[in-house]
Amino acid sequence: MGFFRYHAENRNITLGEYKFGPLFMRLCYELDLEDSAVELIKDQHLRGFFSDSTSFNILMDMLFIKGKYKSALEVLIEMKNQDLKFNKDTYVLAFAICYKLNSPESFQICTTLREEALIKGEILSRRASCFAVALALNQNQLAKAISIFSQIMNPESIICTNLNIMIHIQSNTLKTLIDILKDATEGNLSRFVKRHVFSEEVLVKVREKVKDVPALLAKFDELNKKLHISGQVTTYTLDALLCHTPSDRQPHTVLLNKRTVSRRTFQPLSQSLWAE
């Protein structure tokens, strides 16, 4: 195959800082060749061709979009085995993949990667940490979820707001739940001040939690009505909020989110996860 021959003949030739790996992965993305890309990136004969985090990030993002989380985890493990440096995007993707797999094994992988990153002095993004918190909650690891959440810098986001509610639901701190919702309805009324927004799905879980305490249930229904009237409730689920791609994407990732339909299958594509 010409691809292998090219690498074998040019593995010791450098073209400045230019790397062909990311270009090849973007081509695979455009042509929906993620399965072939996985095989190639793991091929021992091509070691050195994909010698950068960007190539692996693009492939993991591609697999995440297609819902191929196990394959994405294989790529993540391969990246670690090749001792390539993880960057901010890598951690977002890694924790998101582990979150989607939602198993004791993926939780352990996420925890280990996070601890190693902190030991190295890496600064983990809020988005990566949110995936770690959500995974811990899904695995009923409440203490770990609380610990990770407490370390998030500037937890003023819609995702953090809803994760905080989920933490209190699992903690069974019912009065605190009501107090949080009460504070949200009584905050600054100025339209220039960002107000807390709650997921309808999360609010339903709050109601389920307080339904056996008549006084709290009545207060919740009152606050829930106020939140809806003031436009502080979204129909997006917590999962949808976590996996939503911000509109202010970084320039070097624009290509990944350009298309919404596959050129090969003509099927809709989900938005790219790789953005902060």
User: What gap in Å lies between CA 131 and CA 110, rounded to an integer?
Assistant: 9
Encode the chain in three state secondary structure: CHHHHHHHHHCCCCCCCCCCHHHHHHHHHHCCCHHHHHHHHHCHHHCCCCCCHHHHHHHHHHHHHCCCHHHHHHHHHHHHHCCCCCCHHHHHHHHHHHHHHCCHHHHHHHHHHHHHHHHCCCCCCHHHHHHHHHHHHHCCCHHHHHHHHHCCCCCCCHHHHHHHHHHHHHHCCHHHHHHHHHHHHCCCCCCCCCCCCEEHHHHHHHHHHHCCCHHHHHHHHHHHHHHHHCCCEECCCHHHHHHCCCCCCCHHHHHHHCCCECCCCCCECCCCCCCC
Mean pLDDT of 65-75: 96
Q: So what's the pLDDT on residue 78?
A: 94
The residue among 155, 239, 174, 157 whose CA lies nearest residue 201 is 239
Q: So what's the pLDDT on residue 273?
A: 60
- 7 near 20, Cβ under 8 Å? no
pLDDT higher than 90, residue 196: yes
Q: So what's the pLDDT on residue 170?
A: 98
Q: So what's the pLDDT on residue 261?
A: 54
Read off the pLDDT band of 217 (50, 70, 90). Answer: very high
Higher pLDDT, 219 or 3: 219
Mean pLDDT of 211-235: 97
Q: So what's the pLDDT on residue 24?
A: 83
Q: So what's the pLDDT on residue 9?
A: 45
Residue identified by tokens 């394959």 is: 71
Average pLDDT, the chain: 85
Higher pLDDT, 189 or 1: 189
Q: So what's the pLDDT on residue 2?
A: 42
